[in-house]
Structure 1
Amino acid sequence: MSHLVEPRPVKIIFSVIFNGSADISLLKKKIDEQFGEIDYESEKIDFDKTNYYTREMGTNLSRKIFSKKQILKRDEIVEIKIKTNQIEEETSLNNKRIFNIDPGYLAEEHFVLSTGKGYAHRPYLGKGVYADLTLIYKDKRFNELEWTYPDYKTLVIQNILKEIRKIYLDNLREEKIYD
Protein backbone atom coordinates (compact mmCIF):
# COMPACT_ATOMS: atom_id res chain seq x y z
CA MET A 1 0.00 0.00 0.00
CA SER A 2 1.26 3.46 -0.80
CA HIS A 3 1.35 6.13 1.89
CA LEU A 4 -0.25 9.39 0.81
CA VAL A 5 2.08 12.32 1.35
CA GLU A 6 1.84 15.94 0.25
CA PRO A 7 4.53 16.72 -2.34
CA ARG A 8 6.93 19.60 -1.86
CA PRO A 9 5.60 23.03 -2.83
CA VAL A 10 6.47 24.39 -6.27
CA LYS A 11 7.67 27.54 -7.98
CA ILE A 12 4.91 29.30 -9.92
CA ILE A 13 5.90 30.41 -13.42
CA PHE A 14 4.12 32.84 -15.73
CA SER A 15 5.08 32.40 -19.38
CA VAL A 16 3.70 35.36 -21.31
CA ILE A 17 3.39 35.86 -25.06
CA PHE A 18 2.78 39.44 -26.16
CA ASN A 19 3.02 41.77 -29.11
CA GLY A 20 6.19 43.86 -29.10
CA SER A 21 4.10 47.03 -28.77
CA ALA A 22 2.30 45.83 -25.61
CA ASP A 23 3.17 47.38 -22.25
CA ILE A 24 4.60 44.39 -20.41
CA SER A 25 5.14 46.53 -17.29
CA LEU A 26 1.33 46.76 -16.96
CA LEU A 27 1.07 42.98 -16.91
CA LYS A 28 4.02 42.62 -14.54
CA LYS A 29 2.25 44.98 -12.12
CA LYS A 30 -0.98 42.95 -12.36
CA ILE A 31 0.89 39.69 -11.72
CA ASP A 32 2.62 41.26 -8.74
CA GLU A 33 -0.69 42.57 -7.31
CA GLN A 34 -2.65 39.34 -7.89
CA PHE A 35 -0.05 36.73 -7.02
CA GLY A 36 2.69 38.36 -4.98
CA GLU A 37 6.26 39.43 -5.53
CA ILE A 38 8.10 38.41 -8.70
CA ASP A 39 11.64 37.17 -8.12
CA TYR A 40 12.65 36.45 -11.71
CA GLU A 41 12.00 38.13 -15.06
CA SER A 42 13.60 36.85 -18.24
CA GLU A 43 14.82 38.93 -21.11
CA LYS A 44 12.43 39.29 -24.03
CA ILE A 45 12.55 36.16 -26.23
CA ASP A 46 11.41 36.10 -29.85
CA PHE A 47 8.29 33.97 -30.22
CA ASP A 48 8.95 32.62 -33.70
CA LYS A 49 8.42 28.83 -33.60
CA THR A 50 4.75 29.05 -34.63
CA ASN A 51 2.30 31.56 -36.08
CA TYR A 52 -0.59 30.16 -34.02
CA TYR A 53 -1.28 33.51 -32.27
CA THR A 54 -0.68 35.83 -35.24
CA ARG A 55 -4.34 36.28 -36.19
CA GLU A 56 -5.32 37.31 -32.67
CA MET A 57 -2.18 39.07 -31.43
CA GLY A 58 -0.41 40.24 -34.58
CA THR A 59 3.18 39.75 -35.62
CA ASN A 60 6.44 40.58 -33.85
CA LEU A 61 5.48 38.43 -30.85
CA SER A 62 7.75 37.92 -27.87
CA ARG A 63 7.77 35.84 -24.71
CA LYS A 64 8.86 36.69 -21.17
CA ILE A 65 9.01 34.30 -18.27
CA PHE A 66 8.37 35.40 -14.69
CA SER A 67 8.47 33.46 -11.46
CA LYS A 68 6.69 34.19 -8.21
CA LYS A 69 8.83 34.48 -5.10
CA GLN A 70 6.58 32.52 -2.75
CA ILE A 71 6.41 28.76 -3.28
CA LEU A 72 2.93 27.20 -3.24
CA LYS A 73 1.06 23.91 -3.15
CA ARG A 74 0.75 22.33 -6.58
CA ASP A 75 -3.03 22.34 -6.66
CA GLU A 76 -3.10 26.14 -6.37
CA ILE A 77 -2.30 26.26 -10.10
CA VAL A 78 -6.03 25.77 -10.81
CA GLU A 79 -7.04 29.09 -9.19
CA ILE A 80 -3.99 30.81 -10.68
CA LYS A 81 -5.04 29.71 -14.19
CA ILE A 82 -8.56 31.01 -13.60
CA LYS A 83 -7.19 34.38 -12.46
CA THR A 84 -4.75 34.67 -15.38
CA ASN A 85 -7.63 34.02 -17.79
CA GLN A 86 -9.46 36.93 -16.13
CA ILE A 87 -6.38 39.15 -16.55
CA GLU A 88 -6.22 38.19 -20.24
CA GLU A 89 -9.86 39.25 -20.64
CA GLU A 90 -9.42 42.49 -18.67
CA THR A 91 -6.45 43.55 -20.80
CA SER A 92 -7.98 42.54 -24.16
CA LEU A 93 -8.77 45.09 -26.85
CA ASN A 94 -11.65 44.53 -29.28
CA ASN A 95 -12.00 40.93 -28.04
CA LYS A 96 -8.37 40.19 -28.89
CA ARG A 97 -5.81 39.36 -26.26
CA ILE A 98 -2.78 41.55 -25.80
CA PHE A 99 -1.21 38.98 -23.47
CA ASN A 100 -1.36 35.20 -23.55
CA ILE A 101 -0.49 34.14 -20.00
CA ASP A 102 0.44 30.52 -19.44
CA PRO A 103 0.87 29.84 -15.74
CA GLY A 104 2.63 26.70 -14.71
CA TYR A 105 4.82 25.33 -12.00
CA LEU A 106 8.36 24.17 -11.66
CA ALA A 107 9.09 21.26 -9.34
CA GLU A 108 12.42 19.52 -8.84
CA GLU A 109 11.38 16.77 -11.25
CA HIS A 110 9.41 18.57 -13.96
CA PHE A 111 7.86 21.67 -15.47
CA VAL A 112 4.08 21.70 -15.90
CA LEU A 113 1.95 24.27 -17.73
CA SER A 114 -1.75 24.71 -17.04
CA THR A 115 -4.26 24.91 -19.85
CA GLY A 116 -7.97 24.97 -20.52
CA LYS A 117 -7.57 22.49 -23.37
CA GLY A 118 -7.82 18.79 -22.59
CA TYR A 119 -5.91 16.15 -24.50
CA ALA A 120 -4.67 12.57 -24.00
CA HIS A 121 -1.53 13.70 -22.15
CA ARG A 122 -3.25 16.41 -20.08
CA PRO A 123 -4.84 15.17 -16.85
CA TYR A 124 -7.81 17.14 -15.56
CA LEU A 125 -7.16 19.15 -12.39
CA GLY A 126 -10.57 20.73 -11.83
CA LYS A 127 -12.65 23.82 -12.70
CA GLY A 128 -11.85 23.46 -16.42
CA VAL A 129 -8.07 23.36 -15.91
CA TYR A 130 -5.72 20.64 -17.16
CA ALA A 131 -2.06 19.93 -16.44
CA ASP A 132 0.34 19.81 -19.38
CA LEU A 133 3.55 17.99 -18.44
CA THR A 134 5.95 19.99 -20.62
CA LEU A 135 9.49 19.03 -19.55
CA ILE A 136 11.03 16.43 -17.26
CA TYR A 137 14.19 17.25 -15.27
CA LYS A 138 16.55 14.28 -15.37
CA ASP A 139 20.33 13.87 -15.59
CA LYS A 140 20.86 17.55 -14.68
CA ARG A 141 18.91 18.86 -17.64
CA PHE A 142 15.39 19.36 -18.95
CA ASN A 143 14.17 16.64 -21.28
CA GLU A 144 11.43 17.21 -23.82
CA LEU A 145 8.49 14.97 -24.50
CA GLU A 146 6.84 14.21 -27.83
CA TRP A 147 4.19 16.89 -27.17
CA THR A 148 6.52 19.59 -25.79
CA TYR A 149 5.88 22.90 -27.56
CA PRO A 150 8.74 23.82 -29.96
CA ASP A 151 9.89 26.90 -28.02
CA TYR A 152 10.16 24.90 -24.78
CA LYS A 153 12.52 22.55 -26.61
CA THR A 154 15.02 25.38 -27.08
CA LEU A 155 18.05 25.85 -24.86
CA VAL A 156 17.08 29.50 -24.39
CA ILE A 157 13.92 28.61 -22.48
CA GLN A 158 15.40 25.55 -20.81
CA ASN A 159 18.31 27.64 -19.51
CA ILE A 160 15.85 30.19 -18.11
CA LEU A 161 14.01 27.38 -16.35
CA LYS A 162 17.34 26.09 -14.98
CA GLU A 163 18.01 29.54 -13.50
CA ILE A 164 14.56 29.60 -11.93
CA ARG A 165 15.08 26.04 -10.68
CA LYS A 166 18.19 27.19 -8.78
CA ILE A 167 16.15 29.95 -7.14
CA TYR A 168 13.43 27.42 -6.35
CA LEU A 169 15.87 25.00 -4.67
CA ASP A 170 17.19 27.94 -2.61
CA ASN A 171 13.57 28.74 -1.64
CA LEU A 172 13.10 25.17 -0.44
CA ARG A 173 16.30 25.36 1.63
CA GLU A 174 15.25 28.69 3.15
CA GLU A 175 11.92 27.18 4.14
CA LYS A 176 13.78 24.11 5.47
CA ILE A 177 11.90 21.86 3.07
CA TYR A 178 15.01 20.65 1.25
CA ASP A 179 18.45 19.62 2.49
Structure 2
Amino acid sequence: MGKPGQPKKVLLFIATLFKEQDAYYKAIEILEDKFGQILVESSPKLWNYSDYYTPELGSPIKRRFIFFKNLISEADIAKIKIQTNQIEEELSKHGKRTINLDPGYIGLAKLVLATTKDYSHRIYLSNGIYAEVTLIFKNNSFMPNINTYRDYAEEEYIKLFNLARTIYKDLLLGKN
Protein backbone atom coordinates (compact mmCIF):
# COMPACT_ATOMS: atom_id res chain seq x y z
CA MET A 1 0.00 0.00 0.00
CA GLY A 2 1.29 3.44 -0.92
CA LYS A 3 1.50 6.14 1.69
CA PRO A 4 0.37 9.71 1.02
CA GLY A 5 3.25 12.07 0.48
CA GLN A 6 3.74 15.81 0.58
CA PRO A 7 3.18 17.98 -2.51
CA LYS A 8 6.31 18.59 -4.54
CA LYS A 9 7.98 21.94 -5.14
CA VAL A 10 7.44 22.93 -8.77
CA LEU A 11 8.24 25.78 -11.16
CA LEU A 12 5.40 28.30 -11.49
CA PHE A 13 4.68 29.83 -14.85
CA ILE A 14 1.93 32.06 -16.15
CA ALA A 15 0.78 32.01 -19.75
CA THR A 16 -0.43 35.39 -20.93
CA LEU A 17 -2.62 36.51 -23.82
CA PHE A 18 -3.02 40.23 -24.52
CA LYS A 19 -3.32 42.87 -27.22
CA GLU A 20 -1.83 45.91 -25.50
CA GLN A 21 1.75 45.84 -24.19
CA ASP A 22 0.63 48.20 -21.42
CA ALA A 23 -1.69 45.53 -19.99
CA TYR A 24 1.16 43.03 -20.05
CA TYR A 25 3.55 45.34 -18.18
CA LYS A 26 0.92 46.23 -15.56
CA ALA A 27 0.31 42.53 -15.02
CA ILE A 28 4.05 41.88 -14.70
CA GLU A 29 4.32 44.40 -11.86
CA ILE A 30 1.49 42.75 -9.94
CA LEU A 31 2.71 39.21 -10.66
CA GLU A 32 6.25 39.97 -9.48
CA ASP A 33 4.84 41.48 -6.31
CA LYS A 34 2.78 38.32 -5.64
CA PHE A 35 5.08 35.56 -6.89
CA GLY A 36 8.59 37.00 -6.81
CA GLN A 37 11.41 37.38 -9.27
CA ILE A 38 10.91 36.45 -12.90
CA LEU A 39 13.37 33.85 -14.10
CA VAL A 40 12.51 33.74 -17.82
CA GLU A 41 10.07 35.53 -20.13
CA SER A 42 9.34 34.34 -23.63
CA SER A 43 9.32 36.79 -26.52
CA PRO A 44 5.90 38.00 -27.65
CA LYS A 45 4.43 35.82 -30.38
CA LEU A 46 1.27 36.30 -32.42
CA TRP A 47 -1.51 34.05 -31.13
CA ASN A 48 -4.03 33.19 -33.85
CA TYR A 49 -5.40 29.80 -32.89
CA SER A 50 -9.02 30.89 -32.47
CA ASP A 51 -11.26 33.93 -32.16
CA TYR A 52 -12.34 32.95 -28.63
CA TYR A 53 -10.55 35.85 -26.90
CA THR A 54 -10.95 38.49 -29.64
CA PRO A 55 -14.27 40.00 -28.42
CA GLU A 56 -12.71 40.64 -25.03
CA LEU A 57 -9.04 41.31 -25.72
CA GLY A 58 -9.24 42.63 -29.27
CA SER A 59 -6.69 41.69 -31.91
CA PRO A 60 -4.01 40.95 -32.79
CA ILE A 61 -3.43 38.86 -29.68
CA LYS A 62 0.07 38.05 -28.45
CA ARG A 63 1.26 35.18 -26.24
CA ARG A 64 4.04 35.34 -23.65
CA PHE A 65 5.09 32.90 -20.94
CA ILE A 66 6.54 34.05 -17.61
CA PHE A 67 8.50 31.67 -15.36
CA PHE A 68 9.18 32.51 -11.71
CA LYS A 69 12.26 31.76 -9.62
CA ASN A 70 10.40 30.99 -6.38
CA LEU A 71 9.25 27.38 -6.42
CA ILE A 72 5.69 26.71 -5.29
CA SER A 73 3.90 23.71 -3.84
CA GLU A 74 1.80 21.75 -6.32
CA ALA A 75 -1.04 22.20 -3.84
CA ASP A 76 -1.00 25.99 -4.36
CA ILE A 77 -1.97 26.06 -8.05
CA ALA A 78 -5.75 26.36 -7.40
CA LYS A 79 -5.18 29.34 -5.08
CA ILE A 80 -2.84 30.91 -7.65
CA LYS A 81 -5.48 30.53 -10.39
CA ILE A 82 -7.95 32.43 -8.21
CA GLN A 83 -5.33 35.15 -7.67
CA THR A 84 -4.66 35.47 -11.41
CA ASN A 85 -8.41 35.72 -12.05
CA GLN A 86 -8.50 38.61 -9.56
CA ILE A 87 -5.61 40.31 -11.36
CA GLU A 88 -7.47 39.95 -14.65
CA GLU A 89 -10.47 41.67 -13.03
CA GLU A 90 -8.30 44.46 -11.60
CA LEU A 91 -6.87 45.17 -15.06
CA SER A 92 -10.22 44.96 -16.86
CA LYS A 93 -11.62 47.98 -18.67
CA HIS A 94 -15.34 48.51 -19.32
CA GLY A 95 -16.10 44.99 -18.09
CA LYS A 96 -13.64 43.33 -20.48
CA ARG A 97 -10.33 41.74 -19.65
CA THR A 98 -7.21 43.37 -21.08
CA ILE A 99 -5.10 40.28 -20.37
CA ASN A 100 -5.68 36.56 -19.88
CA LEU A 101 -3.51 34.92 -17.20
CA ASP A 102 -3.32 31.13 -17.00
CA PRO A 103 -1.04 29.73 -14.30
CA GLY A 104 0.58 26.35 -14.48
CA TYR A 105 3.60 24.53 -13.23
CA ILE A 106 6.44 22.40 -14.46
CA GLY A 107 7.59 19.35 -12.56
CA LEU A 108 10.10 16.75 -13.64
CA ALA A 109 7.42 14.54 -15.21
CA LYS A 110 4.75 16.96 -16.46
CA LEU A 111 3.47 20.44 -17.24
CA VAL A 112 0.15 21.20 -15.56
CA LEU A 113 -2.31 24.02 -16.28
CA ALA A 114 -4.99 25.35 -13.93
CA THR A 115 -8.38 26.30 -15.34
CA THR A 116 -11.95 27.12 -14.33
CA LYS A 117 -13.33 24.98 -17.15
CA ASP A 118 -14.25 21.36 -16.52
CA TYR A 119 -13.75 18.79 -19.25
CA SER A 120 -13.19 15.05 -19.59
CA HIS A 121 -9.41 15.24 -19.12
CA ARG A 122 -9.43 17.67 -16.17
CA ILE A 123 -9.41 16.90 -12.47
CA TYR A 124 -11.19 19.04 -9.88
CA LEU A 125 -8.83 20.62 -7.34
CA SER A 126 -10.83 23.05 -5.16
CA ASN A 127 -12.83 26.28 -5.21
CA GLY A 128 -14.02 25.78 -8.80
CA ILE A 129 -10.52 25.15 -10.17
CA TYR A 130 -9.47 22.18 -12.30
CA ALA A 131 -6.07 20.96 -13.45
CA GLU A 132 -4.93 19.23 -16.59
CA VAL A 133 -1.69 17.55 -17.50
CA THR A 134 -0.95 19.43 -20.71
CA LEU A 135 2.48 17.96 -21.51
CA ILE A 136 4.28 14.86 -20.28
CA PHE A 137 8.05 14.47 -20.09
CA LYS A 138 9.17 11.38 -21.96
CA ASN A 139 12.33 10.46 -23.89
CA ASN A 140 14.11 13.65 -22.72
CA SER A 141 11.44 16.07 -23.94
CA PHE A 142 7.98 17.33 -23.21
CA MET A 143 5.32 15.75 -25.42
CA PRO A 144 1.69 16.75 -26.01
CA ASN A 145 -1.36 14.76 -25.00
CA ILE A 146 -4.49 14.32 -27.09
CA ASN A 147 -6.11 17.46 -25.58
CA THR A 148 -3.01 19.69 -25.51
CA TYR A 149 -3.60 23.21 -26.81
CA ARG A 150 -2.02 23.56 -30.26
CA ASP A 151 0.38 26.34 -29.30
CA TYR A 152 1.69 24.35 -26.32
CA ALA A 153 2.49 21.51 -28.75
CA GLU A 154 4.57 23.71 -31.10
CA GLU A 155 8.26 22.96 -31.30
CA GLU A 156 9.22 26.50 -30.22
CA TYR A 157 7.25 26.21 -26.99
CA ILE A 158 8.31 22.61 -26.35
CA LYS A 159 11.92 23.89 -26.46
CA LEU A 160 11.00 26.71 -24.05
CA PHE A 161 9.33 24.28 -21.62
CA ASN A 162 12.30 21.90 -21.85
CA LEU A 163 14.63 24.81 -21.01
CA ALA A 164 12.39 25.81 -18.10
CA ARG A 165 12.46 22.21 -16.86
CA THR A 166 16.27 22.22 -16.97
CA ILE A 167 16.36 25.46 -14.98
CA TYR A 168 13.84 23.99 -12.53
CA LYS A 169 16.01 20.90 -12.10
CA ASP A 170 19.00 23.16 -11.34
CA LEU A 171 16.91 25.07 -8.78
CA LEU A 172 15.99 21.79 -7.09
CA LEU A 173 19.66 20.86 -6.91
CA GLY A 174 20.57 24.30 -5.56
CA LYS A 175 22.58 25.33 -8.62
CA ASN A 176 20.79 28.69 -9.04
| TM-score, scaled to structure 1 | 0.93
1:160 aligns with 2:153: no
Cα distance in 2, alignment partners of residues 142 and 76 from structure 1:
23
Cα deviation, 1:136-157, whole Å, max 9, x if unaligned, reads 1100111111111111110111
Are 2:81 and 1:98 equivalent residues in the alignment? no
* Structure 1 alignment gaps of length 5 or more: none
User: Counterpart of 1:121?
Assistant: 121
Using the aligned pairs only, state the percent identity.
Answer: 35
Are 1:77 and 2:94 matched, yes or no?
no
Q: 2:43, 2:64 within 8 Å by CA — same for their partners in 1? A: yes
Summarize deviations over 1:120-148 as a string: whole Å, max 9, x none.
Answer: 11100001110011111100111111111
Secondary structure of the corresponding residue to residue 31 of structure 1: helix
* 1:5-154 aligned within 5 A: 5-154=5-154
8 Å CA contact 1:17, 1:101 repeated in 2: yes
Q: Offset at 1:11?
A: 0.3
| 1:85-142 CA distance string (max 9 Å, x none) | 0000000011111110000010010001000011111100001110011111100111
Structure 1's 84 and 49: CA in aligned 2 closer, same or farther, altered over 3 A?
Answer: same
Query: How far is 1:21 from its partner?
Result: 4.7
- Alignment check: 8 A CA contact 1:20 1:60 kept: no
CA distance in 2, matches of 1:163, 1:82: 27
Q: Which residues of structure 2 form unaligned runs of 5+?
A: none
Runs of 4 or more consecutive aligned structure 1 residues displaced over 4 Å after TM superposition: none
1:22 Cα offset (Å): 3.7
In structure 2, C-alpha distance between the alignment counterparts of 1:69 and 1:88, rounded to whole Å = 22
Cα offsets for 1:10-45 (capped at 9, x unmatched) = 000100000045442211111001111111111111
* 2: CA distance, partners of 1:76 / 1:32: 17
Task: State the aligned residue count.
Answer: 175
Deviation at 1:8, TM superposition (A): 2.8
TM-score by length of 2: 0.95
CA deviation map 1:71-93 (0-9, x unaligned)? 11101011110100000000001
